[in-house]
Structure 1
C-alpha cells in the first residue's frame, strides 16, 4: 500500500515538473515580454532590457526555472510583476468562482446523464434509447465556446430569463449568484452529459446481462429494484472515475467560458496573464491546477472502496484483482 502511494506521489511530482517546465518554455518562445507590457509600446529597447534585468528575465532558462522551483517548494509561487499581488493570493481570490462553476457543471451533468443512462439501459436499442443517443451525440459535438453564445441568445436575449454577463458572489445573493452561474455551467456541462451517459449506459447494459441479474428477475423482482439494487452500484466504477477526472479538468479548463461570460475565476486569470506575458502567474496557476488534478485522482481511487468494500478488503493477488473487475459474478458466488 505504502509503496503504491509512494509511486503515485513520484509520478505526480514528475508530471508537475514536466508541465511547469513546458509552460515556462512556451512562454519564453512567445513574442514580447512582460517588460514591454509594463513599460508600454513607447519603451525603448534599452529600457526593456533594463526592466528584464531588474525582473531577472535576462538569466538563463534553467536558472530562472530552478529559482522558481525552489521558491514553489517552500510554498511561494512568486509575485506578479504586473499586479504586484502574490500569485497564491490571486489564486485564492478567484478559486471559489472556478470551483463553483466546475461543481455546478458536474452536478448538472450527473443529474441529467444518470437518468438518461438508466432509461437507455432499460430499453436498449429501442426508439427511446436511439433518441437519447442522438441528443447526447449532438451535445458531444458542441464545444463550450459554441454552446455559450447559443445559450446566451436563447436564455438571455430571446427569453430574457438569465443574465448574459456578470457575476454576483454567493455571499451577497445566492439567487443572483446561481442565475449568473447557470449558463456558463450548462455550456461546460453539455459534453460531460454525453460522456457520462455513454459510459454508464454501456456498463449498465453489460451488468444487466450477468447471471445474478437474470436470477433476480426470475425471482419476480421488479425492473426498478433490479436496476438500482443489483446493477447500478457495480456499474458506477467507470462513472466515478470519469467524474473525478472531469472535475479536475473542469477546474483547469474553464478558460474560454470564464472569458466569454466575464467570470472572475482562475480561467480568466490565466488567460489575462498569458496575454500580459506574466510568466510567474501562469506558472503558478498551472502548478496549482496540476497538483489539484493529482489530488482528485487519489480521491477517486479511495472512492472505489466506498462504492464496493471488496476493493478495500481484497488481498493483492491475481485472483482478487479478477474478482474486483467482475463484481456481478462475485455477488452471485
Structure 2
C-alpha cells in the first residue's frame, strides 16, 4: 500500500515538473520579454537590457527555472514582474470565479446527463432513446466558443434576461451572481452533458443485464428502486473517473468562456500573463492547476470503494 502511494506521488511530481518545464520552454519561444512590455514600445534596447538584468531575466532559461523551482518547493510561486503581486495571491483572488464556473457547469451537466441516461437505459432502442441520442449529438458538436455567442445573442441581446459580460461576487449580490453565470455555465455544460450521458447510458444498459439485477427484480423490487439502489452506483465508475478528469480540465480550461464573458478567473489571468510575457505568473498558475488535477484524480481513485463494495473487498483480500 505504501509503495503504491509512493509511486503515485512520484508520478504526480514528475507530471507537475514536466508541465511547468513545457510551459517555460513554449513561452521562451515567443518574441519579446516582460521588460519590453513594462517599458513600452518606445523603450531603448539599453533600457530593456537593464530592466531584464534587474528582474533576473538575463540569466539562462534553465537558471531562471531552477531558481523558481527552488522557491516553488517551499510554497513561494514568486512575484509577477508586471503587477508586483505575489502569484499565489493572484491565484487565490481569481480562483473562486473559476471554481464556481467549473463546479456549476459539472453539477448542471451531471443532473441532466444522469436523468437522460436513466431514461435511455430504461427504454433502450425506443423513440425516446433515439431522440435523446440525437440531442446528445447536437450538444457534443457545439463547443463552448460556438455556444457562447449563440447564447448571448438569444438570451442576452434579444431578450435581456441575462447580462452579456461582467461578474458580480456572491458576497455582493447572490442573485446577480447567479444571473451572471447562467450563460457561461450552459456554454460549458453542453458538451459535458453529451459525454456523461453516453458513457452512463452504456454502463447502465450493461449493468441492468447482470444476474443480481434480475434477482432484485425477482424479489418484487420496483424498477425505480432497482435503478437507484442496485444499478446506478456500480455503473458510475467510468462516470466518476470522467467527472474527476473533466473537473481538473475545466479549472484550467475555462479560458475561452472566461475571456468571452469577461469573467475575472484563472483563464483570464493566464491570457493576460501570456500576452505580457509574465513567465513567473504562468508557471505559478500551471503548477497550481497541475497539483489540483493530480489531487482530484487521487480522490476519484479513493471513491471507487464507496461506489462498489466489491472494490473494497478486492483491496483488502
TM-score using structure 1 length: 0.93
* Structure 1 runs (4+) greater than 6 angstroms displaced: none
Alpha-carbon deviations, 1:207-230, whole Å to 9, x = none? 011122223333443222221122
Which residue pairs with 2:268 in the alignment?
A: 268
Residues 153-185 of structure 1 show CA distances to partners (whole Å, capped at 9, x for unaligned) of 111112211111110000111111000011111
SS at structure 2 position matched to 1:235? coil
Match of 2:244 in 1: 244
Q: Distance in 1 between matches of 2:227 and 2:187?
A: 30
| Secondary structure in structure 1 of the residue aligned to 2:82 | coil
The aligned residue for residue 230 of structure 1 is 230
Which residue does 1:279 correspond to in 2?
A: 279
* Equivalence for 2:306: 306
The equivalent residue for 1:143 is 143
Per-residue Cα deviation, 1:121-156 (whole angstroms, up to 9, x for no partner) = 011111111111111111111111111111111111
| Greater mean deviation of Cα atoms: 215-224 or 128-137 | 215-224
Give the deviation of 1:2 after TM superposition: 1.2
Which residue of structure 1 aligns with residue 292 of structure 2? Answer: 292
How far 1:313 sits from its partner (Å)? 3.6
Number of the residue aligned with 2:213: 213
1:68, distance to aligned residue in structure 2 (A)? 0.4
Give a deviation string over 1:250-272, Cα, whole Å, max 9, x none: 11100111010000111100111
Cα RMSD after superposing both structures: 1.2
* Aligned mates of 1:130, 1:20 — CA distance in 2: 45
Count of residues in Structure 1 that have an aligned counterpart in Structure 2: 317
For normalisation by structure 2, the TM-score amounts to 0.97
Where does residue 95 of structure 1 map in the other structure?
95
User: Do residues 128 (structure 1) and 128 (structure 2) align?
Assistant: yes
Whole-angstrom distance in 2 between the partners of 1:211 and 1:159: 52
- 1:20-59 to structure 2, matched below 5 A, reads 20-59=20-59
Give the equivalent residue in structure 1 for 2:187: 187
Deviation, structure 1 residue 315? 3.9
The answer to which of 81-90 and 55-64 deviates more is 55-64
For structure 2, the residue ranges without an aligned partner over 5 or more in a row are: none
Residue 50 of structure 1 and its aligned partner are, at CA, apart by 1.5
Q: 85-94 vs 152-161, which deviates more?
A: 152-161
**Structure-1 residue corresponding to 2:74:** 74
Counterparts of 1:186 and 1:192 in 2: how far apart (Å)? 10
Q: Distance in 2 between matches of 1:35 and 1:294?
A: 34
Q: For 1:234, what is the secondary structure of its paired residue?
A: coil
- Find the residue that maps to 2:93 and give its secondary structure: helix
Find the aligned partners of 1:48 and 1:203 in 2 and give their Cα distance: 59
* 1-structure distance, mates of 2:91, 2:177: 20
